[in-house]
Structures are given as C-alpha cells and as structure tokens.
C-alpha cells in the first residue's frame, strides 16, 4: 500500500490528502500539522477579529473528526524539520520528542509566512507590547487578547488585502485606525483610478490614510507605542499591526534538495512535481503557472492552493493531471465596497499590446429602486482583441464577485472582448440589464480599442 505523507494542514495539504483517499480508499494519508488547527480558514481571521464571527471554532472548514471520517490521519502540533529523500523519511518533532516518519510519496504544503520588514524595533517588540503580525490562529489569539484590553487607537502597516480587511475589522470595534502604505496608493493590485475609490471608502469610515510613507521605527514609550517613518510621519497608538505580505515557507523543502523558483518559492511543474523524485508541493509555498502569461509567477491564493493540492494528491498516486493555471482572480470587501480583479493589467501584459478602457454601468435597471454604479476597467490585446483582464469596483450588494467570475471564465477560454456581448446572461430588472454591466464594459472597449 502506498504511504502518502502530507506536510501542512491548510488548503493545499488538506486538498491533497482528500484527493488521495478519494481516488484510493484503501490509502489513508498522514497529515503532519505544525499547530493544532487543521483546515482553518485563514481568510476568515479578520471577521473573527471584528467580532462578526464570534466563535473562532467556526473558522474550521472541517473538524478533526470530519477529516478523520474523510480518510485522513492527523498528527497535530508536530513540526517537520528535515527530509531525507534517499531514505524517504521526514524528521518531525513534537511532545513525543524527535522521530522519523516513512513515506513513499511526500506532498509539501507548508504555505507562507509573514514578511517581517526591516522596521527598527519590530524584532524586539511583540504581542505583549501590542505589536502584531497576523497569519496563524495563534497570531489571531494574541491579537484578540490585545483587543480585549480595549485599545483606542491602532496603526496598520500595509495597504494590501489583509491590511484593508484588518482596518475594517478594527474600525468595526470602534478603534481609531491609521493606515500606512509605502506605495502611492492603497490596494496596488488595482489601477490607481480604482484604488482612489477604495481610499474614498476608507476615509468615509474615518480611516487616516498615509500613502507614500515607509515606516522606519516602532518603539514603546511611557505614553504607549510610537510609530515613525518617512515624510515626517509620527503616530502614537495602542496597537500596531504589520501586514505587508507573505513569502513562501521553503525551509523544509530545502532540506531535501528541492530547487526553488520564482521569488524563492518551490519550483514545481504543472503536475506539482519538484525536482526530487517522490516529492510534490502545492499552495502558497510554490510558484504558480499563469495561464495567460504561460510562465511561472508567485501568486499565493487560497483558491489556487485548493486546486494545486488536488493535482498533487492525484499525481502522488501515479496520475498525470496538470494544473491548468491561475489568472489571479481575487475579490475583497472593504466596508460597503467590493473590489475584484482577474487576469492582467497593462504593466503585467508582457507579450501583448494591452489597452484598458474604463466604463461605469449600473448593477441593474435604473428604474428599479436601488441601482448602484459599478466601475469597470477592461484590458484587451489591441492586436488580437483577446480579453486579458478586468477590474471592478462596486457596492458589496452589486454582485461584483460574480461578475468578475464571468470575465475569469472568458479569459480561461481565450475569448475575445467582443465575444462577451454574445454571452447569454441572465436578466431581471431588480438584478441586471438586458446587456449586463460586464457586456456594457466590453462594448465600450470594442468601440474605443477594438
């Protein structure tokens, strides 16, 4: 019987293990999880911090019993520290001490770890001082313990997805928030025209935004924490949260001689195979094949990790499945706005001649009460007319998340922008228009650039 060992209990690891047992019911993969929280939704952490998800246990996609009933064996609070690919063993440490686990096929799903920027004082201060990074459930518990002391002010360093979600979470708890971002705009994953809409939404909820500002120092004073940086920035706060992104966690893979690729992530082929026989990898620790660019990028996303995990699990049993590629489809809620994107922006569209056209269209027929505008930016190739990307910002109730999925499906199947007009989309006045907003935007692109 094939012995499948999976390192990591988040999206990729769980998906790999479930796929193995699904295809080979006589095989029970062993999952080694560094903490005690397998299959927890890291994406849900901001909503527990805000209090909207009151019980942290609700963040579990499946309980331990659910996972075991689904055919997985678990070793929790067990850290894998080294791999011997010749002996096909993994050295692990736990309260049992150190031991070696034997495998026939190994799947590494160690994920990512938070980036610790070179801020003076960050390595000396920690949760006891009110200074936090945020990525794991233990990080979450440390932060909620700080928030339970009723702080009145916070500085959030990092204006990306997690930073913005945490700004909202802290404001939901009625904490004064200053958001510091080193780039010229918040949410730099969308064009500046749409980033400005996000900034307006933040200011409407009394968030103090400081863009183009690099934090240099965090220090504890008798009056609390003091954060200082470029352009004369100085702010006192009760809590500081540093969320400037993640990097792939490759320490374990490197002990096995696994090669690294883009941005230091584990290099894998589209079958999630590493260069070492019998070792697969998936999720936020690996680089990702981009379907449009036809090359590898580092694009850590939960949706991608789930898909890659299933590929790794299937191929660990001798399969030949390939990951079809990512488009970077993402959506974010910031207060009452939803912001979504898929595919490429102009500066990312290497090998194409991109043209981007912006349109504003109502989310449903204007005569039905409550119509709201959606801002759409469509990117297409001027030579071929092929759809390359889309960015949308609209009210959270305007189905922005589903509309971006229409574009994602179109890009996946290499459709032209003009072809979107012909899609047979649903319509009723309270929810849409005869030509949906996604089609209106495509028509505008064809008129201006097609």
Tokens of 244: 């400037």
Closest C-alpha to 391, from 399, 382, 383, 400: 400
* Whole-number Å distance between alpha carbons of 355 and 93: 53
- 338 backbone dihedrals φ, ψ, rounded to 5°: -120, 130
User: Among 43, 197, 331, 416, which one carries the catalytic annotation?
Assistant: 43
For 393, residues 6+ apart whose C-beta sits below 8 A from its C-beta are: 190, 194, 197, 198, 337, 338, 339, 340, 374, 375, 400
Q: Are strands 30-32 and 73-75 parallel, antiparallel or unpaired?
A: parallel
Our answer to whether residue 285 is catalytic in this structure is no
Closest C-alpha to 41, from 143, 135, 155: 135
For 282, residues 6+ apart whose C-beta sits below 8 A from its C-beta are: 12, 13, 15, 16, 107, 108, 109, 268, 272, 305, 308, 309, 311, 312
**b/e burial code for range 240-249 (CB count within 10 A of at least 16 → b):** bbbbbebbbb
* Residues 103/107/112/113 CA torsion (nearest 10 deg): 0
Distant-in-sequence contacts of 114-120, Cβ < 8 A, 24+ apart: 114/242, 114/243, 114/244, 114/245, 114/246, 115/244, 115/245, 115/246, 115/247, 116/242, 117/157, 117/215, 117/242, 117/244, 119/157, 119/215, 119/216, 119/217, 119/218, 119/242, 120/216, 120/217, 120/218, 120/219
The CB density around residue 295, as the number of other CB atoms within 10 Å, is: 12
Tokens of 151: 């702080």
The HSE-up count of residue 87 (CA atoms within 13 Å, CB side) is 9
| Residues belonging to the active site | 43
């Amino acid at each position: 019987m094939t012995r499948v060992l999976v390192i990591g209990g988040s999206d990729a690891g769980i998906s790999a293990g479930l796929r193995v047992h699904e295809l080979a019911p006589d095989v029970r993969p062993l999952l080694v999880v560094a903490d005690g929280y397998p299959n927890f939704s890291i994406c849900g952490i901001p909503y527990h911090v805000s209090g909207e998800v009151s019980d942290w246990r609700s963040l579990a996609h499946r309980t331990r019993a659910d996972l075991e009933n689904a055919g997985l064996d678990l070793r929790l609070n067990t850290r894998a520290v080294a791999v011997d690919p010749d002996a096909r063993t993994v050295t692990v440490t736990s309260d049992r001490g150190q031991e070696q686990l034997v495998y026939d096929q190994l799947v590494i799903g160690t994920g990512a770890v938070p980036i610790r920027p070179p801020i003076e004082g960050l390595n000396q201060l920690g949760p006891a001082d009110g200074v936090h990074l945020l990525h794991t459930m233990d990080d979450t518990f440390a932060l909620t313990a700080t928030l339970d002391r009723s702080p009145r002010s916070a500085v959030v360093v990092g204006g990306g997805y997690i930073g913005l979600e945490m700004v909202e979470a802290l404001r939901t708890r009625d904490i004064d928030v200053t958001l510091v971002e080193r780039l010229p705009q918040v949410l730099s994953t969308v064009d500046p025209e749409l980033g400005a809409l996000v900034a307006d939404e933040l200011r409407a909820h009394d968030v103090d935004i400081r863009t183009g500002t690099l934090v240099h120092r965090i220090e504890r004073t008798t009056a609390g924490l003091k954060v200082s940086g470029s352009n004369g920035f100085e702010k006192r706060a009760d809590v500081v949260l540093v969320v400037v992104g993640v990097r792939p966690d490759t320490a374990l893979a490197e002990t096995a001689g696994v090669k690294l690729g883009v941005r230091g992530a584990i290099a894998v082929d589209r079958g999630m195979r590493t260069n070492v026989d019998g070792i697969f990898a998936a999720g936020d620790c690996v680089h990702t094949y981009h379907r449009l660019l036809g090359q590898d990028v580092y694009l850590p996303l939960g949706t991608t990790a789930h898909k890659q995990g299933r590929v790794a699990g299937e191929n660990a049993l001798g399969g030949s499945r390939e990951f079809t590629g990512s488009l970077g489809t993402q959506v974010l809620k910031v207060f009452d706005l939803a912001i979504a994107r898929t595919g490429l922006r102009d500066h990312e569209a290497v090998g194409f001649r991109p043209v981007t056209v912006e349109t504003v269209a109502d989310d449903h027929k204007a005569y039905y009460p409550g119509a709201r505008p959606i801002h759409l930016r469509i990117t297409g190739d001027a030579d071929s007319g092929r759809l390359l990307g889309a960015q949308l910002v609209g009210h959270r109730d305007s189905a922005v998340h589903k509309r971006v999925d229409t574009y994602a499906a179109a890009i996946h199947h290499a459709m032209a922008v003009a072809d979107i007009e012909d899609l047979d989309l649903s319509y009723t006045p309270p929810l849409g228009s005869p030509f949906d907003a996604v089609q209106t935007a495509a028509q505008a692109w064809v008129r201006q650039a097609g």
